[in-house]
Amino acid sequence: MSIIDTLLRNPDLIDRIGKAEEQHQIQRLYALNHNTPWNQHISDFLTYGATFNLGTLPLFNQFGPKLDVVKWIDGQVTLYRAPGDIISFDFGGCVMARFLLKGSCYAAHIHNAEKICMQKDRRIDWAQFVKQQQIRDITMFQPGAEQFRRNGPGRGVAIWGIITASQQCYSVYVKDVAGVSATQGEYRISGIVHYPETGKSADFYKPILDLPDDASFDVVSHVWNAFWKYQQDAYEVLYSADV
């Protein structure tokens, strides 16, 4: 059973995940303020993630009620070793990936920048990494892609991305309703979207991975944005609720 199966059966679980994310952010700030080592490096990328223990919940994978998380950092590609289902937060155009590197499964959150801060864009760096490491088994998608041509997911709605151990990709739309109804939790799911046609090998992503290393920001953005249009038309809504 995947985390998606569990969320569909028990949508209130999203509140526990959201609060675990809040607690992790507090722990990270404490570590940074006390000069505690927090990150290691793979290539030029940061390994930045966590494993959330979600308590006494139905087992959704062989590792028990735990969920691996790869965390976003502005202007970075972040990696986290993740043998099971993986989640990431704070999507607004970035791309999420799951891949096999030297026999281990990893997840990545790849920062996509706007032109006003193009120096932070990491798409070419990511493509170089995939080619240099000769990564073949890979799944990538852009959480929330189907919403970006509709002016976004709506006010107060965050986009989370999930890739399961079986390489299925999902967007989870989450609304923070703190103070509205504390009895039902602060975080609630407004939608879950599945992308059934996502690729599982580097060949599928050749159009965006084979760009020249010196490609301009405008060229990279045009090619990547055009590529994700297939995802905007090939998706299925698994869950929808008014929150």
What percentage of the chain has pLDDT greater than the value 90? 48
pLDDT, residue 151, reads: 54
d(CA 190, CA 21): 18
**Region 169-188 average pLDDT:** 73
Q: pLDDT tens-digit profile of 93-145?
A: 999 999 999 899 999 999 999 989 999 999 999 999 999 999 999 999 999 98
Residue 57 pLDDT exceeds 80? no
User: Which of 174, 144, 153 is closest to 7 using CA atoms?
Assistant: 174
Between 228 and 62, the higher pLDDT residue: 228
Quote the longest CA-to-CA distance of the chain.
53
Whole-model pTM over 0.95:
no
What percentage of the chain has pLDDT greater than the value 70? 79
d(CA 70, CA 81): 8
Q: pLDDT tens-digit profile of 64-86?
A: 557 888 989 889 999 988 888 99
Residue 163 pLDDT exceeds 80? yes
CB 122 within 8 A of CB 111: yes
Q: Order of strands across the sheet with 86-88? A: 49-53, 66-70, 86-88, 157-163, 169-176, 187-195, 236-240
Q: pLDDT tens-digit profile of 187-209?
A: 899 999 999 989 999 999 999 99
pLDDT, residue 229, reads: 85
Least confident of 53-67, 76-90, 161-175: 53-67
Where do we find the tokens 């972040």? 78
**Region 86-96 average pLDDT:** 93
pLDDT, residue 145, reads: 84
How far CA 165 is from CA of 68, 86, 198, 201, 205, in Å, comes to 11, 8, 14, 15, 19
**Region 156-167 average pLDDT:** 91
